[in-house]
Structure 1
Amino acid sequence: MAPRAFWKGYLKLSLVTCPVVLQPAVSGSEKVRFHTLNKTTGNRVRARYLDPETGDVVEDDDIVLGYETEDGTHVTFEDEELDQVALESTRTIDIETFVPAWDIGWIWYDQPHFLAPDDKVGAEAFAVIRAAMADTGTAGIARLVLHRRERAVMLLPHGRGMVLWTLRYGEEVRSERDVLGAEKAEPEKAEAGLKKMLADLIAARTKPWSEEMVADPVQDALLDLIAERQKKRPRRAKASPPPKATGNVVDIRDALKRSLAAEKAGGGKPDGKKR
């Protein structure tokens, strides 16, 4: 059974729009995780917030988020206030720019997600956008709100879908000079015989890539240990997935013709505004 989509919205390129679903490309759900229990009763322990000054338990309804200022006080925000930030990109991935796919260094890549069309009507528009990006060797750059933070994202064609990478913020990426220092002269050339020995060693250890190379032996050992102690229990039935949302899709040929005409007439976006 396919996993439930954690995000649904629209992919937009000029006047072409199609409904899409987004799924994380990696998951930690298969990892062995332990709960914290009361050793005496076997019951799960629940974490609660305490006010360190009064010692009182703080209920969920009384919790707000705060940003500490220079004088040590906090500016507080309610959840609803933060939800109002960057709402335009909450449910729409609007591709505004294309860049050569190889121009973006690996250090900017954050988290990968699979992007796919959400219905048969929008699949044609999605496929044409993906194929055009593949033919031109470009990546689409857009912005998207995930977990209340607006992120720059990169879209790359991948098989029958796309991979959407969230990109790191500029302040997160360190300059290599900060770590590696200034560029230095190349070391002296290694002895030819030594280089030949190393090349032979590399060749002897070179194999085709396999997922077995990133297997987790600790995970396997934990599963074996759990199996030894586990008692068979009936599994809970999983909840039914929600019905798929549908949306209006503009005819791609007509939309592209109007988009290109608007680009030539206005020198920018379909609304006539220049970029």
Structure 2
Amino acid sequence: MAPRPFWTGHLKLSLVTCAVSMTPATTEAERIRFHTMNQKTGHRVVAQYVDAMTDRPVDDDDLVKGYPCDDEKYVLLEDDELEAVALDSTHTIDIERFVDADEIGWIWYDTPYYLMPDDDVSEEAFAVIRESMRATGIVGIARLVLYRREHAVLLEPRGNGVVVWTLRYGDEVRDPKEYEPQEKTAKAGRQESALLRKLISALTRPWNPDMVQDPVQTRLQAIIDAKKRSRKKKPAKPVAQAEPPAGDNVVNIMDALKASLRSSGKGGKS
């Protein structure tokens, strides 16, 4: 059963408007979650805000946001002050501009959502916007309020729908030049490159979601199931990782590549 949309509103491009709904493209519903418990009573415990100076509980109505200043003082902001700086409309995705799809690097993409027409009347306008972007190879840029925070978003045609990606802000992305290795003299040898391409070919498989399954979740579920049956069971030991080479950690690349090819079952004479 498909989940209910968590956001409904309108998609707007100039004078073209249609009703739309949005659903998260990813889910953590199947992830194992725990409650914090009192071991002595077996009861759940609850968290409570406490004044850091007086140790007295604070009522929900007295909670406000605070921005730290000098001398451990804070500027306090009320909810209505925070809402005043947000977008005027929290229920309209107004496409402001378009860019080539290839111009935005992967690092700017944050969280994906599925966007779809919300009624029969809106299907035609929605399809016109979607197919126009698909035909020209561009994506739309807009702004949207989600979870009481304004986001820059990207709209990308996908199948019969549109994927809305929230984008990271400029100050959230670090300059990759500061972290890329400075290769001045190192060059990839011809033989090493040929062997590595052969190894990559041997390890290439068609994409399957099982490739990114979480083994920790599987082991946790096994422990939980065992406890449900009131049987003690030791957690499965994680697969041992290969130890780094001893000594000065200098490895002959050719030897390592040949060994890797042999272990993949597709090795050959160089």
Q: What TM-score do you get using the length of structure 2 for normalisation?
A: 0.80
Greater CA drift, 216-225 or 138-147:
216-225
**Residue of structure 2 equivalent to 1:223:** 221
1:114 aligns with 2:114: yes
Give me the whole-angstrom Cα distance separating, in 1, the residues matched to 2:128 and 2:6: 24
**Residue of structure 2 equivalent to 1:10:** 10
Gaps of 5+ in 2: 230-270
1:97 aligns with 2:103: no
Give me the whole-angstrom Cα distance separating, in 1, the residues matched to 2:70 and 2:8: 39
- The residue identity in structure 2 corresponding to 1:136 is T
Give me the whole-angstrom Cα distance separating, in 2, the residues matched to 1:107 and 1:5: 27
- The residue identity in structure 2 corresponding to 1:27 is T
**Residue of structure 2 equivalent to 1:62:** 62
- The residue identity in structure 2 corresponding to 1:185 is K
| Alignment of structure 1 residues 148-187 onto 2, 5 Å | 148-180=148-180, 184-185=183-184, 187=186
| Alignment of structure 1 residues 1-275 onto 2, 5 Å | 1-180=1-180, 184-185=183-184, 187-190=186-189, 192-230=190-228
- The residue identity in structure 2 corresponding to 1:65 is K
Give me the whole-angstrom Cα distance separating, in 2, the residues matched to 1:66 and 1:195: 56
**Residue of structure 2 equivalent to 1:234:** none
Once the two structures are superposed, residues 41-77 of structure 1 have per-residue CA deviations (whole angstroms, 9 ceiling, x without a partner) of 1110001111121111112111111111234321112
**Residue of structure 1 equivalent to 2:243:** none
Give me the whole-angstrom Cα distance separating, in 1, the residues matched to 2:129 and 2:185: 45
- The residue identity in structure 2 corresponding to 1:15 is L
Q: What is the percentage of aligned positions where both structures have the same residue?
A: 53
RMSD: 1.6
Greater CA drift, 152-161 or 172-181:
172-181
Once the two structures are superposed, residues 161-191 of structure 1 have per-residue CA deviations (whole angstroms, 9 ceiling, x without a partner) of 111111101111111122226x54362340x
Gaps of 5+ in 1: 232-275
Give me the whole-angstrom Cα distance separating, in 2, the residues matched to 1:71 and 1:23: 44
8 Å CA contact 1:89–1:150 kept in 2: the answer is no
SS of the equivalent of 1:180 reads: coil
Q: What TM-score do you get using the length of structure 1 for normalisation?
A: 0.79
8 Å CA contact 1:5–1:22 kept in 2: the answer is yes
8 Å CA contact 1:89–1:143 kept in 2: the answer is no
Once the two structures are superposed, residues 140-175 of structure 1 have per-residue CA deviations (whole angstroms, 9 ceiling, x without a partner) of 000111122211110000011111111101111111
- The residue identity in structure 2 corresponding to 1:163 is V
Structure 1 stretches of 4+ with a deviation exceeding 6 A read none
> Which structure is higher in RCO with an 8 Å CA cutoff and minimum separation 6?
1
- The residue identity in structure 2 corresponding to 1:143 is R
SS of the equivalent of 1:9 reads: strand
